[in-house]
Amino acid sequence: MEKENLFGKTLTELQAIVADLNLPKFVAKQISDWMYKKRVSSLDEMRNISKQAKELLAEKHKVSFTSFSNVQESMDGTKKYLFPVKPMQFIEAAYIPENDRATLCVSSQVGCKMGCLFCMTGKQGFQGNLTSGEILNQIFSLPEFDKLTNIVYMGMGEPFDNLDEVLKSIEILTADYGLGWSSKRITVSTIGIIPGIRKFLNQSNAHLAVSLHNPFEAERKQLMPIENVYHLPKVLDEIRSFDFNNQRRVSFEYIMFNGVNDQTRHINELARILNGIKCRINLIRFHPIPGTPLETSSNETILAFQAGLKKKGIVTTIRASRGEDIFAACGLLSTKELVKQQKNEEY
């Protein structure tokens, strides 16, 4: 049987494991110190844990990181790392350095179930949830770990479709026993899964980003099937009901599609539906994916859209395009093909 990785376990989970083995409670804290503070990648390296305890632990457990299997670097310094998860399953993490910040965009699932029309990950279907350890591995195994200032959960997958593991990973990033980072350095992005939003807002202090992309129900559901289930006004009600203090931010992601969501009526409707929510809108240029019927809005349109929203009093930024030259890389399509070969389809 494969040994279970201790890396990615919360302190409470480690305490349960050591209790099961009749080891003293403090061993759990020692393990978390070695893994999360000293970042060692084997039980052997944990010098203050007795040999006997390590042998007991090693019977069913291990501590290991997985290094990336491929990396591609953009002209602008953005790097896209490919990490193997299971045989023939890969996830991506994008490292984005800018001035005094360095952000890592991490994945939370292999593939995604949400099927958004504009998304490359959606095209590969869903292969599985990442464990907290697999999420954190993208951070801990990053050669630029020491430079990281921010983490965004905006890579492959819908974080709120795997919320328990995402919350565990955030706990380890922010807890005293873990990396002890401020939760203000972490943003989690969702397409608007209401039960997940509620749990996330109650159980963490990280920032929330919601993929909005169109303020009109009938138009949004053509881009994002989730709109059939969790209707945007209800998502916004949920956000409104939560007390965002000055420290915690909510932002809305808005990919600009030519002729689809970039008109004055969209500005007016956005202003109407976001009324009363202290937020920011991030406008994003669309990177076309193979076979997509969508195109990106022109620069002028994006600037005019930003100006229109600002006029309505909404803080609006345009996200700088990064890593465009490596955008289509990293073998997503080949993953899809491999996965298809193994799968037992129901249709």
Partner 1 sequence: MGKAEKIALQKTTLLSSIEIAKHVFVLSFSRTEDFRPGQMVALALNPNEPFRLYSIASGNTQNEYRILFNIQTEGFLTPKLAELKAGQTVYISKPFGSFYGTLENDWWIAAGTGIAPFISMLESGMGKNKTLIHGGRSKESFYFADRIRALLDGNYIQCSSVLKQEGIYPDRLTTYLENLEYLPTDKNYYICGSSQLIVDVRDILINRGVAYNKIIAEIYF
Comparing every residue's Cβ against ligand FAD, the nearest one is 129
> Which neighbouring-strand residues pair with 284?
255
Residue 14 contacts residue 138 (beta carbons within 8 Å):
no
Judged by CB under 8 A, the chain residues 167 through 206 that form the site for partner 1 are 194-195, 198
Among 107, 129, 132, 189, binds ligand FAD (CB under 6 A): 129
Q: Does 330 qualify as catalytic in the annotation? A: yes
| C-alpha neighbours within 13 Å on the C-beta side of residue 139 | 31
Contact between 65 and 41 under an 8 Å Cβ cutoff? The reply is yes
Q: Closest Cα to residue 173, out of 159, 154, 187, 160?
A: 187
Yes or no: say if 332 and 294 are a contact pair by the CB < 8 Å rule.
no
- Rounded Cα distance between 274 and 161, Å, is 24
Q: Does 286 bind partner 1 (CB under 8 A)?
A: no
Q: Which is nearer to ligand FAD, 179 or 223 (CB)?
A: 223
CB count in 10 Å sphere of residue 179: 19
Segment (H or E) for 98: strand 90-98
Determine the Cα–Cα distance for residues 24 and 76; give it in Å rounded to an integer.
50
User: Residue 237's binding partner, choosing from ligand FAD, partner 1, none, with beta-carbon cut-off 5 to 8 A by kind?
Assistant: partner 1
Give 231 or 280: the residue with its C-beta nearer to ligand FAD.
231
Question: Catalytic residue at 346?
Answer: no
Out of 84, 125, 128, 288, name the contact with ligand FAD by CB under 6 A. 128
Q: Using CB under 8 A as the criterion, what x/- string covers residues 314-343 for binding partner 1?
A: -----------------------------x
Which tokens sit at 176?
Answer: 């005293």
Angstrom distances, CA of residue 46 to CA of 49, 257, 306: 6, 52, 53
* Residue among 47, 100, 293, 342 that touches partner 1 (CB under 8 A): 293
- Residues of this chain, 217-256, that bind ligand FAD according to CB under 6 A: 229
Q: From the candidates 2, 330, 345, 346, give the one annotated as an active-site residue.
A: 330
* 129 binds, options ligand FAD, partner 1, none, Cβ within 5 to 8 A by partner type: ligand FAD
The active-site residue, picked from 45, 92, 158, 324, is 92
- Considering only residues 58 to 97 of the shown chain, the ones binding partner 1 according to CB under 8 A are none
The alpha-carbon radius of gyration of the chain (Å, integer) is 21
Q: Return the ∠ at Cα 320 (arms to 183 and 326), rounded to 5°.
A: 100
Task: Give the nearer residue to partner 1 in terms of CB position, either 64 or 228.
Answer: 228
Residue 241 or residue 341: which is nearer to partner 1 going by CB? 241
Looking at residue 129, the DSSP 8-state letter turns out to be: E
Total number of residues that touch partner 1 (CB under 8 A): 37
Residues 6+ apart with CB under 8 A from 311: none
CA distances to 72, 77, 94, 150 from 327, in Å: 10, 13, 10, 21
> Binders of partner 1 among 226-245, rule CB under 8 A?
226-229, 231, 234, 237-238, 240-241
From the list partner 1, ligand FAD, none, partner contacted by residue 84 (C-beta under 5 to 8 A by kind):
none
Q: What does the block give as tokens for 153?
A: 């959960």
Instruction: Name the residues annotated as catalytic.
Output: 92, 330
What is the contact surface with partner 1 in residues (CB under 8 A)?
A: 112-115, 117, 122-123, 125-126, 158, 161, 194-195, 198, 217, 219, 221-222, 225-229, 231, 234, 237-238, 240-241, 276, 291, 293-294, 343, 345-347
What is the contact surface with ligand FAD in residues (CB under 6 A)?
A: 128-129, 229
